[in-house]
Amino acid sequence: MNPVLEPLFRTVRATHPKADLRLIERAYDVAAYHHRDQKRKSGDPYITHPLAVATILAELGTDDETLCAALLHDTVEDTAYSLDELRGDFGDTIASLVDGVTKLDKVKFGDAAQAETVRKMVVAMSRDIRVLIIKLADRLHNMRTMRYLPEHKRHQKSRETLEIFAPLAHRLGMNTIKWELEDLAFAMLYPKRYDEIARMVSERAPRRDLFLQEVIEKVSGDLREAKIRAVVKGRPKHYYSVYQKMIARDVAFDDIYDLVGIRVLVDTVRDCYAALGTIHARWNPVPGRFKDYIAMPKFNMYQSLHTTVIGPEGKPVELQIRTHAMHHRAEYGVAAHWKYKEEVGSAGPTGKVKPGNDMAWLRQLLDWQKETADPGEFLESLRFDLSVSEVYVFTPKGQVIALPEGATPVDFAYAVHTEVGHRCIGARVNGRLVPLESRLGNGDTVEIFTSKSPDAGPSRDWLKFVKSGRARNKIRQWFSKERRETAIEAGKEAIGRAMRKQGLPLQRLMSGEALLALARDLHYPDVSALYAAVGEGHIAAQAVVQKLVASIGGVDSAEEDIAETSLPTRLRGRPRGGGAGVVVAGDADVWVRLSKCCTPVPGDEIVGFVTRGHGVSVHRDDCSNIQQLKAQPDRLVEVSWSPSDDSVFLVAIQVEALDRPRLLSDVTRTLSDQHVNILSASVTTSRDRVAVSKFTFEMGDPKHLGHVLKAVRTIQGVFDVYRVSGAGS
C-alpha cells in the first residue's frame, strides 16, 4: 500500500469499514499520474489537493465512489485524461460524479456567470447530491489554503463562500463544513473584526470554562440519578456565529458570549424527553425558548430538543438534547446518509429519518431555477432563500407547505400554483378572513380566494410584503410583460424627482455617459433598461442617484467651498503663518489656515493655495481637493513647516469597533486621558454591528499621535484606528 494513503485509509476504516480500499488506491494512482507535473499556487504538488478533499469527505463518512470521484475531480478538466477513459476505468457512477463537479467549475467570472454556475450546481445536485458534497469539500480545502492567492481573488472567493457555499452546507445539514467555511471566510474578509472577537473570546475563556464545568457536572449528576445514559459536553463557539448573533439579536458581545451552551447526547428518543424533564426539574425554563425539532425536524433533517433554562448564578444556559444518530446527522447532514442508508421509516422510535424525504427544498429549487430566466435574479433569490428560517402551514386538505419566516397568504398562493397567486384576491387563515399582508405562523391552515375575471393580476404593492423568492419573481415577471415604456418613463421621472429633492444638477448627472456607465456597473444592457428597472421597483431611484453622485466624485468640489470650510488652527491671537506652524515662501506674514479637508500636520508633504480674502489654505500634497486646484497653477504657492511652541494642529482619526454599550464614552475618555482637545465627533453604526467613529482634535505635538492611536486600540471591541485625510472624509 502507498504510505501516502495511510492517513486517508485510517479515516475510511473508522467511518466506512465496508469501503473498497483497492478502488480508492487505484483512483489515487490515476490522479497522481495525470497531475504529476502540476503544482498548486503554494508550490505543493497538485495531487495534495484532491487527496485533502478526499480526506475531508472520509471524515464525513461518505462512500468509496464519492472518495474516488474526489480524488479524480480535477483530472478531466486539468489534464489530458478524458471522461470516456475515466468511465472505462471506473464505471458510470464515478464518471458522472466527476463530470458533475467539472461542470460546476466551468464558469467563474462576474455575477451573472456565477449565478449560471450555481444553476449548474442545482441541476447536478438534483441528479446526485454527492456532486455538491464533493464541491463543498473542494471549496473547504481551497479556503484553508487561500493565503497563496492574490487579495482580490481571496475576497471574491470568501464572499462567494459566505453567501452561497456556507448556506448550502447549512441547507444540507452539514454543520461541521458550514462552521469552518464561515470562520475561514470571515477571517479572510474582515481580519480585524475576526481578531478582535478571537481576543475577546480568549480573555473570557477561563471564567466561562469554570461556569460551564459546573453546569455540566450538575446535569450529568441529575441524569445519572435518573438512570439515563448520557454524554454531556460544552458546545464549541464559532467566531462568525458569535458575530452573526450580535447583528441578528442586536446585543453586545458579552450578552452573547456569556450565554453558555451545552449538548446532551442520549441513546433513544424516549431518553431525550426524559432528560428534558430532569433538567427542567432542577432549573426553570425560559418561556418561549423551547423548540421540539424531533417531532418537527428542520428542512435539513436536523433533529434536537432545544431549551434555555436559568442556571446557576441566574445565568441563562442553552441546551440541545439529541440521540447519537441525530448528532451525527446534525454534524454531517446528507453526507451521513451513507452511514445510515439502511435505516428506513421517518422519525420513528429511534429518531431516524428516511433519506428520501429530506430534500424537498432541493426539488423546489430545481423547479424554481427552470422558471427564472435571469441568472442574476436567480442568484439573488437563492441568497435570500438560503438565509431565512421557515414556517410550516397547511392547505385546506392538510398538505404541508414550507414558506420563509414572515410569509403572507400571497406567498402561500404562489407556492400552491402561479395562477392561484396571480388571481389571488383574499385569504382565510384558520377560518378567519385576513388581509393579504398578514404574517403566517407555524401550523396555520390557509385558504385562498381567487378572481374569475380574465383581467385578474397581481398588485405592485405585493412586492413590498412578499417574502419568498418564487412569489417575488412571479410578480416581477407579470409586470415585465406589461408596457415597458410606462416603466421607463416612471423610472426616468423617479430619478429626476430624487435629484430635484436633493437640489442636484440634473443636466450634469443625467448625461448619457454617466448613466450608461452606471447601467453597465449594475449589469443592465443600456440606460433604458436601468430606467425600466427603477420603474418596476427592482432598484430604488435614490440608490441610483447616490451611485451617480459617487461615480463623479461628489457634487460639491469648488475651491471656494474648500476655503470656506477650512478651520483656523489658532483660536486666539493673530493667525499668521508662524503661529499655524507653516511659513509661505517669500512672505512670513501671510495669514495661513491648515485646511480641514485633509488636516495636515508636520511631516506631511504640503502645498499652499491662495484663496480669495482668506489668505493661504494649506493642503496635504495627496489631498483629493488639491488635485482639482492644480488646474489653477498661478494660485499655488510654496509653503514649508515651521512649528513653534504655541502651534496647534488639527488631527482627524477614525475608530472602527464592534458596537457595544458605553463604547463612545470609553473612546472619548481615553482621548481625554491622552490630553487631546476634541473639537468634533461623529458616530455611525452599520447594520453589521460595526461602529465607525470620527474624531477631530487639536494637538500641539504631532509625534504624540502614535501614543493616542495605541491607547485607543486597547479599548475592548476596537479592531482598527487610524488617521484619516480629513474630518469629513
* 103, 127 contact by CB (below 8 A): no
SS3 assignment, position 430: coil
Active-site option among 78, 214, 267, 318: 78
> Residue 479: exposed, middle, or buried by beta-carbon count in 10 A (0-12, 13-18, 19+)?
buried
How far is C-alpha 195 from the geometric centre of its chain's CA atoms?
Answer: 17
User: Rounded CA gap, 79 and 312, in Å?
Assistant: 61
Could you confirm whether 645 is annotated as catalytic?
no
Name the residue type at position 625. N
Q: Measuring CA to CA, which residue among 182, 205, 206, 212 is closest to residue 194?
A: 182
Cell 487631546, located at residue: 676
Active-site option among 20, 37, 44, 77: 77
User: Rounded CA gap, 306 and 322, in Å?
Assistant: 9
The dihedral through the CA atoms of 267, 269, 272, 277 has a sign that is negative
Neighbouring-strand partners of residue 722: 654
User: Rounded CA gap, 97 and 86, in Å?
Assistant: 11
Q: Measuring CA to CA, which residue among 64, 65, 54, 51 is closest to residue 16?
A: 64
DSSP alpha helix (H) spans, 552-692: 559-565, 577-580, 624-629, 663-673
SS3 assignment, position 23: helix
Angle, vertex CA 235, rays to CA 229 and CA 238, nearest 5:
160
User: Rounded CA gap, 550 and 610, in Å?
Assistant: 28
> On the CB side of 637, how many CA atoms lie within 13 Å of its CA?
20
Helices 469-481, 409-416: crossing angle, 10 deg rounding: 80
First and final C-alpha spacing in the chain: 64
Residue 584 host element (H or E): strand 582-584
DSSP classification of residue 330: H
Could you confirm whether 78 is annotated as catalytic?
yes
SS3 assignment, position 260: strand
User: Rounded CA gap, 294 and 321, in Å?
Assistant: 10
User: Rounded CA gap, 408 and 427, in Å?
Assistant: 10
Neighbouring-strand partners of residue 424: 450
CA 261 to each of CA 223, 315, 317, 329, 532: distance values in angstroms, whole numbers, following the listed order? 17, 11, 6, 19, 50
Longest distance between any two alpha carbons in the chain, whole Å: 95
Neighbouring-strand partners of residue 681: 695
User: Rounded CA gap, 138 and 150, in Å?
Assistant: 19
The dihedral through the CA atoms of 38, 44, 47, 53 has a sign that is negative
Name the residue type at position 348. G
Residue 492 host element (H or E): helix 484-501
User: Rounded CA gap, 36 and 78, in Å?
Assistant: 11
DSSP alpha helix (H) spans, 35-81: 48-60, 64-72, 75-78
Contacts (Cβ under 8 Å, ≥6 apart) of 103: 120, 124
> On the CB side of 457, how many CA atoms lie within 13 Å of its CA?
11
* 545, 495 contact by CB (below 8 A): yes
> Residue 513: exposed, middle, or buried by beta-carbon count in 10 A (0-12, 13-18, 19+)?
exposed
Catalytic annotation, residues: 77-78
